[in-house]
Structure formats: C-alpha cells, structure tokens
Amino acid sequence: MIDGQLVKGHGTANDFVLLHDPNGEHELDPARVRELADRRTGIGGDGVIRVIRSEALGEEAGDVAHGAGAEWFMDYRNADGSIAEMCGNGVRVFAHYLRTYGLVQDQSFAVGTRAGIKHVTVIPDPLGGDTPWYKVDMGKWQLPGGGEAFDATVETTGVRVARPGLTVDMGNPHTVVALAHAEELQAAKLHEPPHVEPTPPAGTNVEYIVIEPDNDPTTGTLRMRVHERGVGETYACGTGACASALAAYVWAGRGPQAPTTWTVHQPGGAVRIEITGETVALSGPAVITYEVTPRELPNS
C-alpha cells in the first residue's frame, strides 16, 4: 500500500474514504475531509478514516492505544470535517482494510479509537452468508439519564407530534426513539435534523426503531433508520444499531425475559448485536470497493 493512497469501503452501505498515512505525514484538516467526502466533487463518503499507527497520532488517545498494544489507530472524521469519537461500521471497515492489505494477520486484534481500545475478531456470518463478518467488542454502554425509560423529547419532520427518546452513550452520543409501525418509520424525513430536548452539548445521533415480532424469545429483531450528527441520514450506523438494541433491551425490562441478542435491519443491511451485562458487541460485514491512485488526490 502506497503512503497517501486512498481506498473506498463500506459496512452495510455506511461508506468511508480511507487514507493510508501510517506515520502521520498527511494533514487531514476539516476542509480536506469535506473535499474527500463530497459525493459530487470528491470521492464521496459518510466519513473519512485515516489509517495511522497509534504512536504517530500525536494525541493522548494514540499513546494509550500504543501502550495497550494496538498498533493501528482509526482516526475518524465525519463528512463535515468534525472529529468523531467512534464509528462502529467504520471500525469493521478499518479492520477489513488492515487484513486486506496485510497490516495484520491475526484473526483477533486490537484497534485504537478515541473511544478506547476496540477488540476485533473475524467470524463466520451468523445469518448464513459466505462472506466473513467482523465482531467488535464495543465496550461498556451507559445510560446518561440514570436508567429512566425516557429522558428526551424528539421532534422529527414527517412524524406526528414529538416522541420520547432514550439517551444511550456508546462512546459517542445517541438518542433512540421507538415508533409504532413500519409506515411511521418510512414517513420520517431524516434529511432534516431532528430537534432533541434537552439539546446535548455536543449534539447527538438519533435512531428511529420499530421492534418486530420474533418467534425465538431469546432473540430480538428491529428495524432502524438514523440521522447522524455532522452527516445526515445514512444507510447504517454501527454504534446506532448498538444503541437501538440496548434501548429495546431496556424497554423490555432488562431482566431474563429481555432478549440479549438482536438483529438490526437498516437500509444498508443487517448487523447482529450481543449484550452481555454492561458491554455490547457488534458484528457485521465489511467491503473494500476500490482504490484511488495518488495522482488523483487533491493537493495536501
């Protein structure tokens, strides 16, 4: 892989531009991120990921990752140029990139992120497909509202009246809203930012879900759409899928009767969420779609 080369990839159609910058030699300022992520004049993506060694990041998060044995760091930016703490689909694509280009050979390995170390394992597709999936230990989840079923109110274009929401911290902020049926989910106009009260100081990602019947009492199924802060509606969101499953788990009572394994269907495809006590794991596919040669890059 050539230093400075760009690669396009996606996880359940949540797509990213990846910059190969192992030694931190390429500036990735907000203007350049927006240039790369622009779908008309750039390569196009929901975000930009710099593939950099943890020790070269020049931030405390990189030092922590390096000390914990994570050689590679996922330096993630939203399409608007803002820095994001974490991206679940991005971690899977990042992990697939590392294996595709021979930067790691192990079936299990650690990845540095601004939301801490994420442990990744290559697994068979639990839904029966032929393509390997990547399972990511997303770490601890939290309910900033203190365990209440609802702690926010969300107004959404296309959805009649404001709806209650639950705040879930996945290392980045989420607010989950339950809707009554699939038609209501489809009617939401997510090209416009929803209004959340109280307004989170750093903004929030908003997920809309419909819980579906499931014949197996140990598993749950839901459908989800998402408006990501700094991006808009995307085809999928990994941390959002985790937050959605966790909200459904909380609303089901968090007891033995509440499913701890969830299949989350998004416009871009399905992922599997597994809840174990205070931690959660995300599993899903990842694809590298094409490479861009350095001569096509904008000037750094």
pTM: 0.89
Is 242 designated active site? no
14 is in an annotated binding site: yes
Q: What is the C-alpha to C-alpha distance for residues 69 and 235, in angstroms, rounded to an integer? A: 33
* 88 annotated among ligand-binding-site residues: yes
172 annotated as ligand-binding: yes
Is 204 labeled as ligand-binding?
no
Phi, then psi, of 277 in degrees rounded to 5: 60, -120
Question: Cβ–Cβ contacts within 10 Å for residue 86, how many?
Answer: 21
CB contact at 8 A, 20 and 2: yes
Catalytic residue among 7, 237, 242, 280: 237
23 a known binding residue? Answer: no
Q: What is the pLDDT of residue 224?
A: 98
5-137+286-292: CATH class: alpha beta
CATH superfamily of 152-277: Diaminopimelate Epimerase; Chain A, domain 1 (3.10.310.10)
Catalytic residue among 28, 52, 86, 87: 87
pLDDT reported for residue 294: 53
What pLDDT sits at residue 295?
55
Give the pLDDT means over successive 10-residue stretches in the chain (300 positions): 90 96 94 95 95 97 96 97 92 98 97 96 89 94 87 96 96 95 96 93 95 86 95 94 97 89 96 96 96 61
| 8 A C-beta contact, residue 14 and residue 234 | yes
DSSP code, position 99: H
Domains 5-137+286-292 and 152-277 share a fold: yes
For the chain, domain boundaries: 5-137+286-292, 152-277
Give the residue among 140, 84, 86, 142 at the shortest CA–CA distance from 112.
Answer: 86
